Amino acid sequence: MVYYTITMMNKIRNFCIIAHIDHGKSTLADRFLEFTGTVEKRDMKEQLLDTMDLERERGITIKLQPAQMEYNDHVLNLIDTPGHVDFNYEVSRSLAAVEGAILLVDAAQGVQAQTLANLYLAIEQDLEIIPVINKIDLPAANVEKVSQEIINLIGCKKEDILTCSAKTGMGIEPILDKVIECVPAPTGVEDSALRALTFDSFFDEYKGVVAYVRVVDGVVKKGDKIFMAGSGALGEVLDCGVLKPNLVSRDTVGTGEIGYIVTGLKEIEKCRVGDTISRIEDRGNFEVLADYKEVKPMVYAGIFCQEGNEYTELREGISKLKLNDAALAFEPESSPVLGLGFRCGFLGMLHLEIFQERLRREFGLDLVVTVPSVAYKVVLRSPKSFPPNIKVEQIVSDTEYLIKNPNEFPDPTVIAHMEEPLMTVDIVCPKDFMGNVMTLVQDSRGEYLTTEFIDETRVILHYRIPLAMLIVDFYDKLKTVTSGYGSMNYDFDKYKTAELVKMDVLVGEEIVEAFGTIVYKDSSFKIGKQIVKSLKETIPRQQFVIKLQAALGGKIIAGERISALRKDVTAKLYGGDYSRRQKLLTKQKKGKKKMMALGKGKVNIPPEAFLAVMKR
């Protein structure tokens, strides 16, 4: 095996693949690994770099994945990236570790919303862009039309656009040649203080914390005493090496290379993504690398275990997932109904769904997830009149603070007004569906901004839409009204005043905090009706009548009843006086009242009920 040393930095090329969902990133990465002989043919399988079962089942990339290849006397370090907007942060981390990006576009679908979003991220990092059209073997492929879209988008020449079929392997070699030709070699100083940027990490039961790094300056050697510039944690390089795509141990990882470091750390929170790793003897002799911007979760939900005794396992599971998911935020939470759990912050609903599924599969936990909420801003009438339970990190100014949990909703008498987060939304769709999209956005309280034409048949519609309307089922509706051709990307814009109220849900005349939600005042009746109706369909019947109610303050605005299961106590009667029948029915009625009074009439709410309210 050839080890490339620092003196051969000009032979290194670091690049990633960016694209919209399902445009063929992982398949192209497979062909690169196969063509360069990095992975033996007998070991090849589809989506080789997608290591999670979830990724294979859903056909999407969730985690970025590096791999080193050798081709034409060069070392090519590839990072495969996700395409969905909820994992956009993974893409931005990948881009910070490379000098070039392959922009992959589907020959049948053309430029989509995430194509644009990821392209803008790459341009911000000043990367060399290599445009490639994939799936040219499809019957619906229209290379000429898609080429013109790319030319309009990035201003390149037609001859600069490469074509390939990642499925069949057609056109793979010219792409690798173009990477070597166009992507600049990394720059760095070999004999200076070590500076390695952590762009991902994971926890191994036996090795501890393993960090994926891009060595910017200096060299990483086995046995080096290291420290994390951000957290100040001390460690030792127990092992280091490169990814092919499995971990391949080496004595050193040189300047400009992408590799891994087994840090010797056991506390997973001390190796933060975006931190700079250096040697202890170099402390104070170097400038810390630019950290990743702090990512702010947009959607919050309570995560609880069905079994109360699994709280410790839940805490450990979330902590381990947090290590390689920098966009995840969590803090302890307690609920009278659900017990101890965590209030977790996510970038979107898919992020929440994947997180929940990973906890179930990797840690064997059965979870209850409360109704998702967004972070609302409360503006107070008088300065510094914050409720006692508000944490310092929630305070924005003397009169403003954020609430992530509906149960933090303050007394309406102290509120000057409430503000909700607005998102700028880019929707790409055929122009024939513009009317449908505009109706959908209008129903979702959206504000029209501008329209751009990609070509004579497809448009980009720019809107401003409240995040609360996006997280429920907006994307599903968009796919429906555009017959599957629409795609969207969104980003935070600003906070805007809105008339909001807190809705409580009562089950058996008791408020269930986990069902509490913040809604628009003018649609509260409709939402309340939907919630109690969905609960009626999911909560099983008991031996007594269950009242389901939605309330604003003390006012009930919607209600349903789940009728009681009744044993026919008169079945044994074969005649006789009418009073005998009434006596048995009265006795049964008294028994039910006594059961309720003794607390035996407590309603057990199944996990499906929380899911039903979440989707309402």
Report CA-CA distances (Å) from 155 to 105, 131, 161: 15, 11, 11
The three-state DSSP-derived secondary structure of 240-270 is EEEECCCEEEECEECCCCEEEEECCCCCHHH
Q: How far is it between the farthest Cα atoms of the chain?
A: 106
Picking from 611, 419, 384, 446, the residue whose alpha carbon sits closest to that of residue 518 is 419
Picking from 214, 199, 201, 209, the residue whose alpha carbon sits closest to that of residue 262 is 209
CA quadruple 463, 468, 470, 474: dihedral, nearest 10: -120
Q: What CA–CA distance (Å, rounded) separates 25 from 48?
A: 11
Q: What CA–CA distance (Å, rounded) separates 347 from 85?
A: 9
User: Residue 317: in which H helix or E strand, if any?
Assistant: helix 311-323
**pLDDT > 80? residue 534:** yes
Residue that is written with structure tokens 């200076």 in the block:
192
Say which residues have a Cβ less than 8 Å from residue 476's Cβ, sequence separation at least 6. Answer: none
| CATH topology for the 195-282 domain | Elongation Factor Tu (Ef-tu); domain 3 (2.40.30)
Q: Strand 195-204 and strand 208-217: pairing? A: antiparallel
Whether 6-182 shares its CATH topology with 386-498 is answered no
Q: What CA–CA distance (Å, rounded) separates 179 from 71?
A: 11
Q: What CA–CA distance (Å, rounded) separates 539 from 558?
A: 17
* pLDDT of res. 394: 83
User: Residue 400: in which H helix or E strand, if any?
Assistant: strand 400-403
* pLDDT of res. 365: 87
* pLDDT of res. 54: 54
For 18, the token pair is 């960016």
173 three-state secondary structure: helix
Over the stretch 550-582, which tens digit does the pLDDT of each residue have?
999 888 999 998 887 766 666 677 666 777 778
* pLDDT of res. 45: 56
- Lowest mean pLDDT segment, chosen from 222-226, 268-272, 462-466, 544-548: 268-272
* pLDDT of res. 463: 94
Q: What CA–CA distance (Å, rounded) separates 230 from 167?
A: 43
pLDDT category of residue 451 using cuts at 50, 70 and 90: very high
Average pLDDT, the chain: 83
End-to-end CA distance of the chain: 57
Residue that is written with structure tokens 């360069």 in the block:
36
558 phi and psi angles, rounded to 5 deg: -155, 150
Q: What CA–CA distance (Å, rounded) separates 415 from 378?
A: 7
User: Residue 591: in which H helix or E strand, if any?
Assistant: helix 578-597
pLDDT category of residue 508 using cuts at 50, 70 and 90: confident
Over the stretch 241-282, which tens digit does the pLDDT of each residue have?
998 888 889 999 989 999 999 988 887 677 777 788 999 988
pLDDT category of residue 52 using cuts at 50, 70 and 90: low
CATH number, span 386-498? 3.30.70.240
528 phi and psi angles, rounded to 5 deg: -60, -40
In this structure, are residues 253 and 215 in contact, taking their beta carbons and an 8 Å threshold? yes
CATH architecture of 299-371: 2-Layer Sandwich (3.30)
Helices 172-182 & 25-35, crossing angle to 10 degrees? 90
What DSSP line would sit under 484-531, residue for residue? T--EEEEEEEEEEEE-EEEEEEEETTEE-GGG-EEEEGGGHHHHHHHH
Picking from 359, 352, 353, 345, the residue whose alpha carbon sits closest to that of residue 317 is 359
What DSSP line would sit under 68-116, residue for residue? EEEETTEEEEEEE---SGGGHHHHHHHHTT-SEEEEEEETTTBS-HHHH
Report CA-CA distances (Å) from 219 to 70, 209, 572: 20, 20, 89
Q: What CA–CA distance (Å, rounded) separates 563 from 361?
A: 37
Is the domain spanning 6-182 CATH 3.40.50.300? The answer is yes
**pLDDT > 50? residue 523:** yes
Report CA-CA distances (Å) from 521 to 17, 54, 165, 497, 528: 45, 39, 52, 13, 11
* pLDDT of res. 4: 42
CATH of 502-615, one of 3.60.20.10, 3.40.190.10, 3.30.70.2570, 3.30.70.920: 3.30.70.2570
* pLDDT of res. 72: 87
Over the stretch 79-102, which tens digit does the pLDDT of each residue have?
877 766 666 666 777 788 899 999
pLDDT category of residue 600 using cuts at 50, 70 and 90: very low
Say which residues have a Cβ less than 8 Å from residue 286's Cβ, sequence separation at least 6. Answer: 192, 193, 194, 195, 217, 278
Over the stretch 379-424, which tens digit does the pLDDT of each residue have?
988 888 888 777 887 888 888 888 888 888 888 888 888 999 999 9
Domain boundary assignment for the chain = 6-182, 195-282, 299-371, 386-498, 502-615
Out of 44-53, 152-161, 564-573, give the one with best mean pLDDT.
152-161
Q: What CA–CA distance (Å, rounded) separates 349 from 321?
A: 17
In this structure, are residues 302 and 338 in contact, taking their beta carbons and an 8 Å threshold? yes
For residue 472, which amino acid is it?
V
**pLDDT > 50? residue 5:** no
Q: What angle do CA 210, 80, 126 make, to 5 degrees?
A: 100
